[in-house]
Amino acid sequence: MKKILFVASECVPFIKTGGLADVVGSLPKYFNKEEFDCRVMIPNYACIPKEWKDKMTYRTNFYMDLAWRSQYVGIMEMEYEGVTFYFIDNEFYFAGFQPYGNIHEDIEKFAFFCKAALSSLPSLDFRPDIIHCHDWQTGLIPVYIKDVFRQNPFYDNIKTIMTIHNLKFQGIWDKKKVIDITGLNEYYFSPDKLEAYGDANYLKGGIVYSDMVTTVSEQYAEEIKMPFYGEHLDGLMRARSNNLVGIVNGLDYNEYNPETDPMIFQRYNASNFRKEKIKNKRGLQKELGLEENDKVFMIGIVSRLTDQKGFDLIDYVIEEICEPGTQLVVLGTGEERYENLFRHFEWKYHDRVSANIFYSNERSHKIYAACDAFLMPSLFEPCGLSQLMSLRYGTVPIVRETGGLKDTVEPYNEYESKGTGFSFMNYNAHEMLHTIRYAKDVFYNRKREWNKIVDRGMAQDFSWGNSARKYEELYRGL
């Protein structure tokens, strides 16, 4: 039996700020239980809801040195959906209303978490063969294992994998302070190790010292070797390219299932969507006060409203996007200029545009089910889950060809009648607009073709099972 330990800073259903939590919470359930014993370790944040806190049981506690400090480490445990979860407890570090705060506090908090995660293993009767680290918050684990824990035979031959969910976030802070916080020798802070451009970089440490590096789509694994996407680490990604693998994230097909989804107006499936899906559009139009019209082309957006997601392109041609015959439904929060952009257009075209500047899981499900098309013009997108959700719900994605979007959406080819969505390549507002208009033309004038695109989209399988098989291969290889 191979033992795997996931270590991460967030995990559904306990705490979530982004897609990382979905991966860490979902993936372990899908491994072959006869071959892999996969467990998960996250911080025991004060802001984890009480319903989960009440189910945790106390395992043990001890004191641990973190450089010149001595710190309390408690370990709580619970089982959920067949997976064992460990929670590292320390009120000083994990208080507060959210998991992340100021970067200077997070740098110390996650240095503590990395060292505590490793220190707790001997008292858990669980010695992992592989520690699978996620994002910069766990970047010091591969470093510590090669350093302070090397003298202890318990840690011999434990392999480490570093998964990059978004290379933009690296955990960068002042080198002197990090040496003081982590207790690591100055030897580790040279340019071929943790130092980058004069500062210390946690993610870089994880990439340099882990046995294997993965990221969340094959295309993104290629892109991060180039300066444009490499966030100043492209040279390191090229150097490690022999050990770099891209595995696309999956989607929880039980939670996102138009046939059983309790949040949508009308349930439907791949065989009856032609007459049932439209009822979701009617329901949403009514709920949002839009013009109630079956024939109008409805575009959905569920996203953080930031530059990374391509909103500067939308800003540039929004007047043309919102022409008569099109409705635009937006859900999400983010940069003020984009929040106000959509509010303004809702005021200007109240029967065509709906700006929902908040986040609601229920409303997001309704949008996936109701819209005809889903727009994701991202500047970069390591994996992206929204396009997988829209495919699942028979809502046709319109995406830019980058990262996971390129890997998961096959562009429509009218000559061979192939494809599951529409895509454009250059980061250009008019190229995006042209693609939206092309999709709209197919929707209005070639309805049978449009329905076949939906058919092919709903037949795709991006469930976690596929990703889990690829991770299993990786684990066996190590």
Residue 125 has pLDDT above 90, yes or no: no
Identify which of 98, 368, 150 has the alpha carbon closest to the alpha carbon of residue 251: 368
- Measured CA to CA, the distance from residue 174 to residue 177 in angstroms comes to 5
Could you tell me what percent of the chain has a pLDDT over 70?
Answer: 100
Specify the DSSP element, H or E, that contains 292: none
Identify which of 362, 372, 418 has the alpha carbon closest to the alpha carbon of residue 273: 372
Q: Is 289 exposed, middle or buried (0-12, 13-18, 19+ CB in 10 A)?
A: exposed
- Measured CA to CA, the distance from residue 329 to residue 336 in angstroms comes to 18
pLDDT class for 441, splitting at 50, 70, 90? Answer: very high
Residue 328 is predicted with a pLDDT of: 98
- Measured CA to CA, the distance from residue 219 to residue 401 in angstroms comes to 9
Q: Look at 14-28, 155-169, 299-313, 344-358 and tell me which has the smallest mean pLDDT.
A: 14-28
Domains of the chain plus CATH, in order, are 2-250+465-477 (3.40.50.2000), 273-461 (3.40.50.2000)
Query: For the chain, what is the mean pLDDT?
Result: 97
pLDDT digits (tens, 9 = 90+) for 187-219: 999 999 999 999 999 999 999 999 999 999 999
- Measured CA to CA, the distance from residue 381 to residue 471 in angstroms comes to 21
Q: Which two tokens stand for residue 106?
A: 């997070």
The pLDDT of 171-175, averaged and rounded, is 97
Cis previous bond, 262, omega within 30: no
Number of neighbouring beta carbons within 10 Å of residue 314? 23
Q: Please say whether the beta carbons of 111 and 142 come within 8 A.
A: no
Q: Which two tokens stand for residue 287?
A: 């709920």
Residue 24 vs residues 134, 242, 344, 408: alpha-carbon distances, Å: 8, 25, 38, 20
Phi/psi of residue 102, nearest 5 degrees:
-80, 140
Which residues is 376 bridged to in the sheet? 399
Cβ neighbors of 337 (< 8 A, separation 6 or more) are: 315
Q: Please say whether the beta carbons of 420 and 453 come within 8 A.
A: yes
pLDDT digits (tens, 9 = 90+) for 12-65: 999 998 889 999 999 999 999 999 999 999 999 999 999 999 999 999 999 999
- Measured CA to CA, the distance from residue 383 to residue 403 in angstroms comes to 6
